[in-house]
């Protein structure tokens, strides 16, 4: 056995041993459990002088407790600092309808990268055991970790894009329902509440958040503006701008919403035509690479078969 094979066997056996030891330790009671006197000390401070309490129970004056000193928390913070959390990631999370924070998303992305790194390392060990180790194969863990992290980020982007498409599809119907409620004599807030209670879908979920923000003290115009900013949907942004302008100038909201619903339907038709134009080439792929070769094969093969038999 070569030195590389010996190292691969050692890594494999050591990893299996470490996995078994960690599994056994995880089943044991937690180490470093606080003693009874320290657990009950905060509840007897009113009858016991602070000098008689165990050390570390009484908070120190002038200092604040520091959280996030664990290794995983520090790794997440460093990973978020390298890739960046920022407003762009928060916007994508909001568009995807996720309740995660940017830090939590980066933490899961880091976990995916670690899983990819471990999987790539195991694959390298298998390649080394089979005797096919190459310098390029040694880079598989790095490629697997990067691919897993990128795949998790692309999955978020795909979710956000799909949800924005569903929001755009639901926008005309929701605007018409709001216009119908306003025509019946309800106020805008009551109409939003009714639509959010009766309707189902992604846009009604966002309207529920808007109504909740209004009930917690935010002005209606600000709540609608925050919703439009969070979703970054062109049709919704125009509708919110028109609604806010109508509220400021006293214009009839029902007519404004009817016109915005018509504009949203026209935009949906235009986007559908654009998608059909972009997918014309994709529609030709089965024709060119599947149907046409089979047609040529059925047309030419009988003649070649006859010529081979010498019957022609």
Establish if 259 belongs to a structural domain: yes
Establish if 136 belongs to a structural domain: no
Residues 6+ away with beta carbon under 8 Å from 180 = none
Distance from C-alpha of 207 to C-alpha of 96, rounded to nearest angstrom: 15
Band (pLDDT 50/70/90 cuts) for residue 20 is confident
> What CA–CA distances, in Å, run from 57 to 40, 41, 46, 83?
10, 7, 13, 38
Q: Report whether 231 contacts 225 (CB < 8 A).
A: no
Distance from C-alpha of 182 to C-alpha of 191, rounded to nearest angstrom: 7
Q: Determine the pLDDT at residue 33.
A: 58
What integer best gives the mean pLDDT of the chain?
Answer: 78
Establish if 255 belongs to a structural domain: yes
Establish if 117 belongs to a structural domain: no
- Residues, the chain, total? 312
Which CATH number is 172's domain given?
A: 1.20.81.30
Band (pLDDT 50/70/90 cuts) for residue 24 is confident
CA angle 289, 294, 296 (to 5 degrees): 100
Establish if 138 belongs to a structural domain: no
Q: Please state the domain count of the chain.
A: 1
Establish if 207 belongs to a structural domain: yes
Q: Average pLDDT for residues 266-272, to the nearest whole number?
A: 84
Q: Report whether 245 contacts 163 (CB < 8 A).
A: no
Q: Which two tokens stand for residue 115?
A: 């899983």
Q: Determine the pLDDT at residue 61.
A: 47
Q: Report whether 186 contacts 257 (CB < 8 A).
A: no
| Residue bearing the bigger pLDDT, 77 or 260 | 260
Establish if 244 belongs to a structural domain: yes
Q: Determine the pLDDT at residue 56.
A: 53
Q: Which two tokens stand for residue 182?
A: 């306003």
Establish if 266 belongs to a structural domain: yes
Q: Report whether 109 contacts 82 (CB < 8 A).
A: no
Instruction: Provide the domain limits for residue 182.
Output: 164-272
Q: What are phi and psi of 101, to 5 degrees?
A: -90, 160
């Amino acid at each position: 056995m070569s030195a590389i094979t010996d190292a691969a066997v050692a890594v494999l056996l050591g990893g299996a041993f470490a996995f078994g030891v960690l599994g056994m330790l995880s089943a044991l009671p937690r180490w470093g459990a606080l003693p009874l006197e320290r657990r009950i000390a905060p509840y007897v401070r009113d009858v016991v002088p602070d000098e008689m309490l165990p050390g570390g129970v009484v908070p120190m004056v002038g200092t604040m407790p520091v959280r996030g000193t664990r290794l995983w928390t520090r790794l997440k913070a460093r990973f978020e600092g390298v890739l960046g959390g920022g407003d762009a990631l928060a916007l994508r999370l909001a568009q995807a309808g996720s309740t995660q924070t940017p830090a939590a998303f980066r933490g899961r992305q880091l976990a995916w990268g670690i899983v990819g790194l471990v999987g790539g390392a195991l694959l390298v060990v298998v390649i080394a055991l089979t005797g096919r180790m190459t310098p390029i194969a040694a880079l598989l863990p790095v490629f697997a970790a990067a691919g897993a992290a990128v795949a998790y980020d692309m999955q978020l982007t795909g979710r956000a894009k799909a949800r924005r498409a569903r929001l755009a599809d639901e926008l005309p119907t929701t605007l018409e329902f709001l216009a119908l409620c306003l025509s019946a004599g309800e106020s805008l807030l009551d109409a939003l509440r009714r639509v959010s209670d009766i309707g189902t879908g992604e846009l009604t979920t966002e309207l529920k958040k808007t109504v909740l923000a209004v009930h917690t003290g935010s002005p209606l115009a600000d709540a609608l503006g925050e919703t439009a900013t969070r979703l970054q949907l062109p049709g919704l942004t125009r509708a919110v701008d028109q609604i806010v302008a109508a509220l400021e100038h006293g214009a009839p909201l029902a007519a404004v919403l009817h016109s915005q619903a018509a504009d949203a339907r026209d935009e949906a038709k235009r986007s559908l035509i654009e998608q059909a134009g972009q997918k014309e080439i994709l529609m030709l792929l089965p024709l060119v690479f599947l149907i046409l070769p089979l047609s040529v094969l059925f047309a030419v093969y009988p003649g070649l078969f006859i010529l081979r038999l010498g019957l022609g």
